[in-house]
Each structure stands twice: as C-alpha cells, then as structure tokens.
Amino acid sequence: MIEQKRIGFIGGGQMGEAIFSGVLASGLVKPEQVSVTDVSAERLDTLGKKYGVFTAVNDGANSGARVVIERSDIVVFAIKPQYARPMLAAVSGAFRSEQLVISIMGGITLGFLEEFFPQNPVLRVMPNTPMLVRRGIAGIAAGAHASEADSALGVELFNLVGMSYLLPENLIDPLTSVSGCSPAFAYLFIEAMADGGVEKGLPRDMAIRLAAQALAGSAEMVLQTGKHPAELKDSVCSPAGSTIVGVHALERGGFRNTVMNAVTESCDKMIEVGKKA
C-alpha cells in the first residue's frame, strides 16, 4: 500500500514536482515520506519550503542521490534521458534488491534500465505534467523482475495524480506522444482560440479562461459519455451554422493532418532519444 512506502526522487524538476506534489495533495502520502535530490540547492530549498519534503543536494560524488536511495522504498528517476547512463552507473550499486525502481526518463527502455538493475523490480513510466493538478495520465510498463504487486503499486501511485494504464512497453512511446507531449499542443490550441476571441474584442484574460474551460468541458464530455469525438462534434455542428463553418476553416488549414503529424513525429523523436542514451 502506497501510504506505507517511502518515495525518493532523483531529480527535482518540473515533472518530478508534478508527481510528488500531486501525491502529497492526495493526503495518502505525507511529506516526511518523500525525499528529493537535485543538483540545484536553490531549487531544493524552494521545494523543501513549499512541500515540507526532505531534500539533499546532489554533488559530484552523488552523495544526495545516495542519501535519497537509502531513505526510500521506491526510487523515481526523474532526470533528463541524456544523463541516464552516468547517473545509473554511479548509483545503481547503492540499491537494495527489494527496492522498486521507477524511471520517467523519456525513451529509456526497460532493457537499458535492467542492465543496471538486474535484480530489482523496474517500472518504466511515462507521465505528463497535468499530474500537478491531479489530472495526469501515465503509461506503465513492467520489467522482467516486477511482480504483479510491484505493478499494482505503480498503478496505485500514479492513480493518485490522475489515471494510469499498464501496457506493453512497445506502446509506451506512442502513449507518450499522445498524452505526454499533447499538453503543449493543447496549450497552443487554447492560446490560438483566445487570440481569435481577442481579435473580435474579448478581453485577453476572459478569452483564455473561456477557451480553457471549453476545452476542459469538451474533454470531460468524451470521458463521461463514452461517445466518439466525431459524434460529439456532429452534435454541435448545426446545418449551415457557425460551427460547421469553423470546422471547415480548420480542415482548410490542414488541422487534423497537422495534429496527427505532431503526434507521430513526437513519437519518432522519443524513440530516437532512447537510442542515443
């Protein structure tokens, strides 16, 4: 049960913060159960004061990482993938065999991780930043030594900050491009809709909130009704109405083709990053 586990984060950046802040907001995990290390003392000072978690600066000898590992039952690697190999090589020997290793490093495969953790249960997880507001999505792939209990623990952890899917590793990169990269695409869409509203006279702040709420409400309609997005779209498009004219304008600009390209090219990039690690 997650409320009985101590959780360590190697890396205190935006994604790491999104996860542990959401977990703490659930109330099941207390600040004293969370440890964070990072190379930036200033960043750790901010996180420690804001959340009340234990922090340790990581130096050239990786002393902070070793302290966090010692204090934790679950260790989350939340660093950039280009730093994966030197970090894992430096600290893998400090792990106890029963510790659950979770990687949220983009493109880093289970096979790569298990070179450094041949005995530990390992989960490869791809989260997204809306975990900061507990509306995130995570894809979880289990390594060779991860038991059903280990996978269930990972699902329980990430369900605290949204929803999670246990899936084969070959689907992790496609999931990342759809749910991990897409918040940026959604922000662009919100900004563009707001810009259109501003052009027609709406105040900027109002236009942004209107666009964001419309997108959030539309997403909730898909989730709650279970209807295909095309069916919901058709229900809004009255014959000869303003909405179908707007849809036509989007199609004229190659909207769906552009979005599909954004998703597939993001996926290809994630695979490329993993190969370079």
pLDDT digits (tens, 9 = 90+) for 136-156: 999 999 999 999 999 999 999
pLDDT at 20: 94
What is the model's pTM?
0.89
Q: Is 79 annotated as a binding residue?
A: yes
- Tens digit of each residue's pLDDT (9 = 90 or more) over 11-51: 999 999 999 998 999 999 999 999 999 999 999 999 999 99
Q: Is 270 annotated as a binding residue?
A: no
> Any known ligand binding at 105?
no
Q: Which two tokens stand for residue 92?
A: 């893998």
Mean pLDDT of 110-136: 94
Strand partners, 139: 126, 165
Mean per-residue pLDDT, 195-221:
98
Complete edge-to-edge strand list for the sheet that includes strand 34-38: 54-57, 34-38, 7-10, 74-77, 100-103, 122-126, 136-142, 162-166
Q: Give the pLDDT of residue 103.
A: 97
What domains does the chain contain, in order, with CATH numbers?
A: 7-167 (3.40.50.720), 176-275 (1.10.3730.10)
CB 277 within 8 A of CB 110: no
Q: What is the pLDDT of residue 132?
A: 85
pLDDT of residue 270: 85
Position 92 pLDDT exceeds 90: yes
pLDDT above 90: residue 220? yes
What does the mean pLDDT of the chain come to?
95
Judge whether 61 is annotated as a binding position: no
Residue 10, annotated as binding a ligand: yes
Look at residue 95 in the predicted model and tell me its pLDDT: 97
How would residue 175 be classed by pLDDT, with cut points 50, 70 and 90? Answer: very high
pLDDT reported for residue 277: 75
pLDDT at 60 over 80: yes
Mean local confidence (pLDDT), 267-272: 89
Q: Is residue 80 marked as binding? A: yes
Supply the pLDDT for residue 94.
97
Q: Is 206 one of the annotated binding-site residues?
A: no
- 221 assigned to a ligand binding site: no
